[in-house]
Structure 1
Amino acid sequence: MTRYNFTSLPDRLATNAIKWQKTREDKDLLPLWIADMDFQVFPEMTAALTQFAKRSVFGYDAPADSLFEAIIDWEQNQHGVEVAREDIVLIEGAVPAISTVVQAFTEEGDAVLINTPVYPPFARSVKLNKRTLVTNSLVVEDGRFAIDFDQLERDIVDNSVKLYIFCNPHNPGGRVWDMAELKRLGEICRQHGVIMVSDEIHQDLTLWGKRHQSFYTVDRSFAEFAIILASATKTFNIAGTKNSFVLIKNPDLRKAFTDRQLANNQHEISNLGFVATEVALREGLPWLTELKVVLEDNISDLLGYFAKELPDLRVMRPEATYLLWLDFSAYGLKHSEVARRLEEEANVQLNDGLTFGREGKCCFRLNAAAPKALIMEAAARIAGAFNNERT
């Protein structure tokens, strides 16, 4: 028996949700794009934020000791990562943290490497800070993304890469990188003096028994050149509360990061974020456990439906996250035509694959974290727009 409500669709237009803004103009549109969930948070979260609202004074707060203890306990118990309080740096979000590391550890013109396709702010942060973007294409093997390690090393050497921004678990493909892959990445970075930034914001959303391997658990020596980005926000659907944490064990790297954070005036964090993060990590595990069952069920039904109704659509089965990478290239259509059909004929809003890199041509990302009735309606609409186009 379920304890939580994953079947009712919240009225997100009433909250001015970005995800649902276009629905104000088109009431029939189904938005399955931006990576937040159309699920209610667990009751303890609502109660804690209600109690926060009753304070009636909302001046500056310092983070409580109990918040750091909650982060330490969560990382240890859920991911086997041992961190001390001094290793933890709070910041308003993982994306601001990416810009901070780019500024702290590279100069204008320096090369920064990312694997593509990947979450769009990776490339944006590099370009806006006037660094040289180096993209290493992921390859598809056995229906999932993999790393071409030989090409990766050539890209690092040929471009004198200083910083590598890595996504684990991967967005948009949902890959949970294994220990052997992470170990090889670490050895390459160490050999060539590259600082590794591992964005692990989806670490808690592994599915079907997969276990997230934090970069800090692979080899203790990797902490000398690695920085971990994490947060409760994606896991517990509290992104609007604006609080993430950065794990930096190397004190020299930590000082460089916090110096740049201060220079950017990024050192003040939302009081609401303090409260929401601590409640999530202290009381949210039962909700998360149930959520994963719901996500697995939603994704399985989508995969089964598309396999039957759109057999030429290649859908990457995620090992983590609630995001599906849909590849329409077998239909022989231009990317713009695929986008038009999704928008005008299916009337669904997905993330455009080209925003993740050139490898996203004819691909789109679908968010499956919504009541099943909504996502299956979207699947039926997509099938209706493409089921006469098999090649």
Structure 2
Amino acid sequence: MNDFDTQIERLNTHSVKWDHTKEIFGKEDLLPMWVADMDFKAPQEVIDAMKTRLEHGVFGYSKATEDTIDAVKHWLKTRHNWEIESDWIVFTPGVVPAISAAINTYTEPGDGVLIQSPVYYPFGDMVRKNGRKLYKNSLRYTGDNYEMDFGDLEDQFKNNKIKLMLLCNPHNPVGRVWKREELRKVAELCIAYDVLLFSDDIHFDLIYKRYKHTLISSLSDEIQNRTITGIAPSKTFNLAGLQFSTIIIPNERLRNQFNTYLAKIGFFSPGSMGIIAAEAAYRHGEEWLQGLMDYLDENLSYLKRFISEELPEIKVIEPEGTYLVWLDCTELNMEHKKLEAFMQDEAKIAFDEGYIFGKEGEGFERINIACPLATLKEGLNRLARAIKKYKIEKP
């Protein structure tokens, strides 16, 4: 039986989320509801597999095997109806390092790389830090959700000599699970303007019941031939600290180039615990994942209900996927830095501030609901008390 209600003490576990609050935010008394890891134990089958490996006691160099590859292929086929070849797979310590590797492999300094803001902030960071030119195809906010601006996307491809596009699906932070027809339009434009595509699908298992995830590379041979897809068990099973990701590159030439770059920086293989955990998760984690999604659905319902009843000034952008919820706080009429200070100094909560995802995110907050309901209630009650006090004191 999966227990997602138990509040697990995470202090003194080297947790970025819980142990480094003061270092990151400058304050110690904040409830952390920011970074995308969960406050839940991994599936017991994963823990047991790691215990068995620990008991062996020898931790020399490790390398992923055919068993690892077969576990990934099995998961993709059974969960996502995508049948891939073994030699398409490259293992890396994370999707973000793979994005950096792709930027360095397929573009030159000064080349154009496109993102869709507001988007996961390492996308832009990797482009800038690697000396490429960043272009933004901003998503259109409808007031309830987000959509792609395909006219602007084509103009960017046509006029700015974009070499690489970074796609986020499901989208972090706005929670969209892009529809098949939306992805088909992206694919058609990438093909027409000879743009390579890196599709970050790391949240692809975390889809709410009314929606269906599509891997863009599965749409056609043409788009598959120019797409690099990043997935991982890290978000699905809360294994981010084990640093194991799968990068799928069907095009042999692109794959060889990618592997050459990894060799150049001295990367050999993920660590043994990441390999063991990934195999166990992909082989035995489906029941746990179903329980997780049911729990997240309940947390999301509670969040929506609470905000509707207690905080009508805030609008919930309902996620179609991920355990991250995008909150529109613009009706509070606070400049984004004032909003950040308010959330930390008055509400005593550490959110991911909307502006870090791009200028388009100013006035928004990203909250992580992958926590016991009691933690979520505590965070929302803190927020409600702070806003009610603010409204009373506001001149």
Normalised-by-shorter TM-score class: over 0.9
The 3 A distance-change label for structure 1 pair 158 and 49 is same
Q: In the TM superposition, what whole-angstrom CA distance separates every residue of 1:328-380 from its partner, at most 9, and x where no partner exists? A: 11121111221111101110110011111011111111000000011111111
The aligned counterpart of 2:383 is 382
Structure 1 segment 1-391 matched on structure 2, within 5 A: 3-22=1-20, 28-141=29-142, 143-387=144-388, 388-389=390-391
The 3 A distance-change label for structure 1 pair 160 and 271 is same
Give the Å deviation of 1:141: 2.7
Instruction: Return the alpha-carbon distance in structure 1 between the equivalents of residues 308 and 157 of structure 2.
Output: 39
Instruction: Return the alpha-carbon distance in structure 2 between the equivalents of residues 306 and 49 of structure 1.
Output: 40
Alpha-carbon contact 1:183-1:219 (below 8 Å) kept: no
Instruction: Return the alpha-carbon distance in structure 2 between the equivalents of residues 251 and 64 of structure 1.
Output: 20
Q: Which moved more, 1:188-197 or 1:216-225?
A: 216-225
Alignment length (residue pairs)? 389
Q: In the TM superposition, what whole-angstrom CA distance separates every residue of 1:53-88 from its partner, at most 9, and x where no partner exists? A: 111111112212111001011001111111111010
Gaps of 5+ in 1: none
Give the Å deviation of 1:382: 1.0
Give the Å deviation of 1:28: 4.5
Q: Which moved more, 1:21-30 or 1:302-311?
A: 21-30
Instruction: Return the alpha-carbon distance in structure 2 between the equivalents of residues 92 and 191 of structure 1.
Output: 32
Give the Å deviation of 1:234: 0.6
Instruction: Return the alpha-carbon distance in structure 1 between the equivalents of residues 142 and 225 of structure 2.
Output: 32
Gaps of 5+ in 2: none
Instruction: Return the alpha-carbon distance in structure 2 between the equivalents of residues 22 and 385 of structure 1.
Output: 24
Give the Å deviation of 1:180: 0.3
Alpha-carbon contact 1:81-1:216 (below 8 Å) kept: no
Alpha-carbon contact 1:331-1:389 (below 8 Å) kept: no
Q: Match of 2:56, SS?
A: coil
TM-score by length of 2: 0.96
Alpha-carbon contact 1:120-1:356 (below 8 Å) kept: yes
Q: Which moved more, 1:265-274 or 1:354-363?
A: 265-274
Q: In the TM superposition, what whole-angstrom CA distance separates every residue of 1:213-271 from its partner, at most 9, and x where no partner exists? A: 00122223211111100011110001111110001111011111111111111232111
Alpha-carbon contact 2:92-2:270 (below 8 Å) kept: yes
Alpha-carbon contact 2:107-2:164 (below 8 Å) kept: yes
Give the Å deviation of 1:142: 5.9
- Read off the aligned partner of 2:182 and give its amino acid letter: E
Instruction: Return the alpha-carbon distance in structure 2 between the equivalents of residues 126 and 354 of structure 1.
Output: 18
Q: Match of 2:319, SS?
A: coil
Q: Match of 1:112, SS?
A: strand
TM-score by length of 1: 0.97
Give the Å deviation of 1:23: 5.5
Q: RMSD value over aligned CA atoms? A: 1.5
The 3 A distance-change label for structure 1 pair 340 and 47 is same
Q: In the TM superposition, what whole-angstrom CA distance separates every residue of 1:1-28 from its partner, at most 9, and x where no partner exists? A: xx11101111110312110125679664
Instruction: Return the alpha-carbon distance in structure 1 between the equivalents of residues 40 and 276 of structure 2.
Output: 20
- Read off the aligned partner of 2:304 and give its amino acid letter: L
Q: In the TM superposition, what whole-angstrom CA distance separates every residue of 1:141-191 from its partner, at most 9, and x where no partner exists? A: 361111010011111222110000000000001110000000000000000
Q: Which moved more, 1:103-112 or 1:48-57?
A: 48-57
Alpha-carbon contact 2:63-2:271 (below 8 Å) kept: no
Instruction: Return the alpha-carbon distance in structure 2 between the equivalents of residues 302 and 270 of structure 1.
Output: 38
Instruction: Return the alpha-carbon distance in structure 1 between the equivalents of residues 236 and 123 of structure 2.
Output: 20
- Read off the aligned partner of 2:17 and give its amino acid letter: K
